[in-house]
Amino acid sequence: MARLVVVSNRLPLGDNPSGGLVVALEDALRASGGLWVGFSGEPVETPGDALEFHPGARFERASFDLSATDFDAYYLGYSNSVLWPLCHGRADLMRIQPEHLDGYRRVNARIAELLVPHLQPDDRIWVQDYQLFPLASELRRRGVTAPIGHFLHIPFPGPADCAALPNPAELFDWLSQYDLLGFQARRDLSNLTESARQLSRIEPLEGDRIRLCGRDLRAGVFPIGIDTAAFIDEARSAPDEDRMRSLTGAQMMIGVDRLDYSKGIPQRFRAFQLLLEQNPDLHEKISFLQIAPPTRESVEAYRDIREETEHLAGRINGQFATVNWTPIRFIHRPIPRNVLAGLYRQARIGLVTPLADGMNLVAKEYVAAQDVSDPGVLILSRFAGAAETMTEALIINPHDPTELAEAMARAMQMTANERRRRHAVLLRDVSEHDVGWWSAEYLATLG
């Protein structure tokens, strides 16, 4: 069988990965074996001129180095100060600088240069996410004819957002060099079609086939999942359950997100404040645990969101806390996955309220972690890709504090019967469409 070569920006070389992409690919590669290529993690003064290999039991990893200049331009700059805000509906946060686009192109060319000598004739190459859009064109330029697929983990921008790019047509030129474009949700595929159509870059062909910039390829929706069975086991055997329970006292509501402005954390804090203002009977009955590890802190917008979040949590606690009760606990660091699984299981409410999100795996992890005889309630933003299939969650508009506060109150009062009925439907979906299903469907289509 053809070897699978996965390329992503992030390559977990240590334990405790956070971020949906890494968690999903780790699961997929453990199942199929192959090679996973990615960035070594920290910029270095003198980047090596070859991939460094790290053998593993189930699959091999190979890392590349980046200089500080390349890292700033490619990762902090074009990837996370242009493409990320653009794809998450925040063109106002874009910081467009020509040297960042140059660095983005340069790093993608270098990754292709480092990878080509290690490719085997019957490899299938699977490129991940927005940091690597130009990789296929760089590989093709170096004579690679193997099937190359791309999967986008974040939303694809619609025409109005694409128009904010310095050179929108280039995005479609890059994408046209893949054989399969995979998206999280139907909305992303229709954004691709609509945005490319406005630039006259696309002709629809039959079924999932499209002609993009004159080249024929396929495009489809492959909603990513989690390793559901493993996560269920993790939650059932979570450590220190009694100790954690005695710490919480009240019913727990949990949020788990990288501290990113797309995740809607200040909006959910404000809704929680409204809930407490309108429902004094809930004081000391509900406590909100927000776990939000730092991410991309050298980018200004991320420093701003941290300040805003800490300020809000402090204000709400100052307003409502009692000697026995802290309404919001805010943990700003990564947590081991098994502890996380146990916390989800104890939480009466899972709060997933992004303003824009490719999929959101936390929603799926929360469902998998529940005790089926007494499950909690998932509150889910309609702007998460997950909302296309997880329709038995309480689906809310995260911009509307009243609607969100009402959903919290409703979740607190929901009968065990209704919770079990909703949870059973959600769990079926999360179990049937797990990460194994996702990678198998994608790779079968790539061929």
Contact (CB, 8 A) for 213 and 201 = yes
In whole angstroms, how close is the CB of 16 to ligand F6P at the nearest point? 13
Q: Which is nearer to ligand F6P, 295 or 445 (CB)?
A: 295
In whole angstroms, how close is the CB of 423 to ligand F6P at the nearest point? 25
188 binds ligand F6P per the rule CB under 6 A: no
In whole angstroms, how close is the CB of 36 to ligand ADP at the nearest point? 17
**Of these partners, ligand ADP, ligand F6P, none, which one is at the site of residue 4 (CB under 5 to 8 Å by kind)?**
none
153 is catalytic: yes
Which of 20, 255, 264, 375 is in the footprint of ligand F6P by CB under 6 A? 20
In whole angstroms, how close is the CB of 155 to ligand ADP at the nearest point? 11
Which of 12, 20, 168, 264 is in the footprint of ligand ADP by CB under 6 A? 20
357 is catalytic: yes
Binding piece for ligand F6P, criterion CB under 6 A, among 20-28, 164-172, 280-288, 421-429 = 20-28
Q: Residue 157: beta bridge partners? A: none
Dist. CA 192–CA 215, nearest whole Å = 15
Dist. CA 88–CA 95, nearest whole Å = 14
SS (H, E, C) the chain: CCCEEEEEEECCCCCCCCCHHHHHHHHHHHHHCCEEEEECCCCCCCCCCCCEEECCCCCEEEEECCCHHHHHHHHHHHHHHHHHHHHCCCHHHCCCCHHHHHHHHHHHHHHHHHHHHHCCCCCEEEEECHHHCCHHHHHHHCCCCCCEEEECCCCCCCHHHHCCCCCHHHHHHHHCCCCEEEECCHHHHHHHHHHHHHCCCEEECCCCEEEECCEEEEEEECCCCCCHHHHHHHHHCCCCHHHHHHHHCCEEEEEECCCCHHHCHHHHHHHHHHHHHHCHHHCCCEEEEEECCCCCCCCHHHHHHHHHHHHHHHHHHHHHCECCECCEEEECCCCCHHHHHHHHHHEEEEEECCCCECCCHHHHHHHHHCCCCCCCEEEEECCEHHHHCCCCCEEECCCCHHHHHHHHHHHHHCCHHHHHHHHHHHHHHHHHCCHHHHHHHHHHHHC
365 binds ligand ADP per the rule CB under 6 A: yes
- Per-residue binding string, ligand ADP, 329-348, x by CB under 6 A, is -----xx----x--------
The residue sitting closest to ligand F6P, measured at its beta carbon, is 19
Among positions 233-292, residues that touch ligand ADP (CB under 6 A) are: 256, 258, 291
Q: Which is nearer to ligand ADP, 47 or 334 (CB)?
A: 334
Q: Which of 357, 423, 429, 433 is catalytic?
A: 357
Which of 43, 89, 147, 293 is in the footprint of ligand ADP by CB under 6 A? 293
**Of these partners, ligand ADP, ligand F6P, none, which one is at the site of residue 129 (CB under 5 to 8 Å by kind)?**
ligand F6P
Tokens 């290529």 correspond to what residue? 37
**418 CB-near residues (< 8 Å, 6+ apart):** none
Q: Which of 100, 150, 153, 433 is catalytic?
A: 153
Radius of gyration, CA atoms only, the chain: 22
- Per-residue binding string, ligand F6P, 295-314, x by CB under 6 A, is xx------------------
In whole angstroms, how close is the CB of 242 to ligand F6P at the nearest point? 33
155 binds ligand F6P per the rule CB under 6 A: no
Which of 154, 162, 171, 377 is in the footprint of ligand F6P by CB under 6 A? 154
Which of 23, 148, 180, 396 is in the footprint of ligand ADP by CB under 6 A? 23
Q: Report the length, in residues, of the chain.
A: 447
153 binds ligand F6P per the rule CB under 6 A: yes
Q: Which is nearer to ligand F6P, 295 or 338 (CB)?
A: 295
29 binds ligand F6P per the rule CB under 6 A: no
10 binds ligand F6P per the rule CB under 6 A: yes
Which of 8, 9, 18, 290 is in the footprint of ligand ADP by CB under 6 A? 18
Sites of contact with ligand ADP (CB under 6 A): 18-21, 23, 256, 258, 291, 293, 334-335, 340, 359-362, 365
Where in the sequence numbering do the catalytic residues fall? 153, 357
Give the binding site for ligand F6P (CB under 6 A): 10, 19-22, 129, 153-154, 295-296
